[in-house]
Amino acid sequence: MNLFETIHARQSVRAYLPREIEQDALRRIFDAINQAPSAGNLQAYRVWVVRDSATKQKLAKAALGQDFMAGAPVVLVFCAEPARAGRYGARGAELYCVQDATVAVAYAQLAATALGLATCWIGAFNETEVARILELPTGLRPIAMLPIGYGAETPPRTPRRPLSEMIVERA
Ligand SMILES: Cc1cc2nc3c(=O)[nH]c(=O)nc-3n(C[C@H](O)[C@H](O)[C@H](O)COP(=O)(O)O)c2cc1C
């Protein structure tokens, strides 16, 4: 799959096979994450890797009961690390670290897709609750969770807005 095929192949999958992810596949996903751009190359985020079933279930509850998450063999939790972007003041602490972590999620999704794995971005969750469950160090802010596994469903494709509505050519 080339990049454009991978981009088109990615879709949110919310059911996973009870099959482990090979360690090498995970390593390649982590490496892809590490190649993502970041403000000032500070990489102001950290990624928690959750495999433990009880913890995944707690995270799913914190994600407003999105229980399908717990069916994935691995859940990555992307946490913005404002202190690492402190050099950029409020913009670093409030925006850049969140953007860094967000780009990393996108890289992880595409890498997983290229490896034949399925993911679903989870953004709806109680941040305080997730931080408590993972015992995150003070200041770290969970911004997205990403269950990864072999897909057990092929959902219909979601529609997209027409480009003409989104892309603004300024004369
Ligand atoms: C910021 C963000 C938050 C999201 N939160 C959730 C979520 O909490 N639960 C969920 O099932 N999907 C979530 N999604 C996935 C979207 O629903 C999905 O990407 C969108 O419907 C387009 O479908 P596709 O991913 O299959 O192309 C989220 C996606 C993004 C980018």
> Which pLDDT band holds residue 171 (cuts at 50, 70, 90)?
confident
Q: Helices (DSSP H) in 40-95: which residue ranges?
A: 53-62, 89-91
Domain covering 3-152, topology:
NADH Oxidase (3.40.109)
Taking the model in full, what pTM does it have?
A: 0.98
* Domain definitions of the chain by residue range: 3-152
Which regions of 43-123 does DSSP assign to beta strands (E)? 45-50, 74-80, 118-119
Which atom of ligand 1 is closest in space to residue 125's alpha carbon? 8
Q: Is the pLDDT of residue 88 over 90?
A: yes
Distances (CA, A) of 113 to 95, 98, 106: 27, 23, 11
pLDDT tens, position by position, 127-158: 999 999 999 999 999 999 999 999 999 999 99
How far does residue 88's CA lie from ligand 1's centre (Å)? 30
Q: Please give the Cα distance from 149 to 5 (Å, whole number).
A: 19
Contact residues of ligand 1, CB 6 A cut-off? 11-12, 14, 66, 120-124, 158
- pLDDT tens-digit map of 45-62: 999 999 999 999 999 999
Nearest CA to ligand 1 atom 28: 121
**Cα–Cα distance, 85 to 141 (Å, whole number):** 13
